[in-house]
Amino acid sequence: MRTNFSATQLNDPALAAAEHELRACVHCGICTATCPTYVLLGDELDGPRGRIQLIQGMLESGAAPSAKVVTHIDRCLSCMACVSACPSGVNYPRLIDEARAHIEETYRRPWRDVLLRRALGFVLPRRWLLRWALTTARVAARFSWLVPEPAQAALIVANGLPRPAPAKHFAKTVAAQGVQERRIALHAGCVQEVIAPSITAAAIRVLTRFGAQVTIVEGSGCCGSLNHHLGETAAFARHANALIKDIGDAPFDAIATTASGCGATVRDYGFLLKGSKVAAQASEIGAKVRDICDVLLDLPLASPHSVPKLRVAYHAACSLTHGMRQDAAASSILTKLGFDVVTPSDTQCCGSAGVYNVLQPAIADELQARKAQALAALNADVIVTGNIGCLMQIASAVRTPVVHVVELIDWATGGPQPEALRMRLSV
The site for ligand SF4 (CB under 6 A) is made up of: 25-31, 34-37, 48-49, 51, 76-82, 85-86, 88, 90, 92
Distance CA 124, CA 116 (A): 12
DSSP, res 141? G
Task: Name the residue nearer to ligand SF4 (CB basis): 349 or 403.
Answer: 349
Task: Name the residue nearer to ligand SF4 (CB basis): 34 or 192.
Answer: 34
CA dihedral 78, 80, 332, 400 (to 10 degrees): 40
User: Smallest distance, Å, CB 6 to ligand SF4?
Assistant: 23
Distance CA 85, CA 35 (A): 9
| Alpha-carbon radius of gyration of the chain | 21
User: Smallest distance, Å, CB 50 to ligand SF4?
Assistant: 9
| Closest by Cα among 183, 181, 199, 182 to 191 | 199
Query: From start to end of 49-179, where are the E strands?
Result: 173-174
Distance CA 282, CA 273 (A): 7
> In Å, what is the CA distance from 403 to each residue of 125, 328, 330, 383, 400?
22, 18, 13, 6, 10
Task: Name the residue nearer to ligand SF4 (CB basis): 37 or 321.
Answer: 37
CB 299 within 8 A of CB 182: yes
Query: Residue 385 phi/psi, 5° resolution?
Result: -155, 170
Find the length of the chain.
427
Task: Name the residue nearer to ligand SF4 (CB basis): 50 or 121.
Answer: 50
User: Smallest distance, Å, CB 97 to ligand SF4?
Assistant: 11
CB 260 within 8 A of CB 320: yes
User: Smallest distance, Å, CB 216 to ligand SF4?
Assistant: 31
Task: Name the residue nearer to ligand SF4 (CB basis): 82 or 324.
Answer: 82
User: Smallest distance, Å, CB 318 to ligand SF4?
Assistant: 7
Q: Which long-range contacts (CB under 8 A, 24 or more apart) does 345-350 make?
A: 345/374, 345/377, 346/370, 346/371, 346/373, 346/374, 347/316, 347/321, 348/34, 348/36, 348/39, 348/79, 348/81, 349/36, 349/77, 349/79, 349/81, 349/318, 350/315, 350/390, 350/393, 350/394
User: Smallest distance, Å, CB 379 to ligand SF4?
Assistant: 29
Distance CA 53, CA 60 (A): 11
Distance CA 156, CA 269 (A): 33
Distance CA 72, CA 43 (A): 9
Task: Name the residue nearer to ligand SF4 (CB basis): 31 or 374.
Answer: 31
Task: Name the residue nearer to ligand SF4 (CB basis): 76 or 405.
Answer: 76
Task: Name the residue nearer to ligand SF4 (CB basis): 91 or 283.
Answer: 91
Task: Name the residue nearer to ligand SF4 (CB basis): 64 or 85.
Answer: 85
| Closest by Cα among 3, 6, 228 to 96 | 228
CB neighbour list of residue 71: distance below 8 Å, 6 or more residues apart = none
Task: Name the residue nearer to ligand SF4 (CB basis): 25 or 397.
Answer: 25
Task: Name the residue nearer to ligand SF4 (CB basis): 101 or 188.
Answer: 101
> In Å, what is the CA distance from 166 to each residue of 130, 149, 193, 221?
12, 31, 10, 16
User: Smallest distance, Å, CB 86 to ligand SF4?
Assistant: 3
Distance CA 384, CA 406 (A): 9
User: Smallest distance, Å, CB 348 to ligand SF4?
Assistant: 9
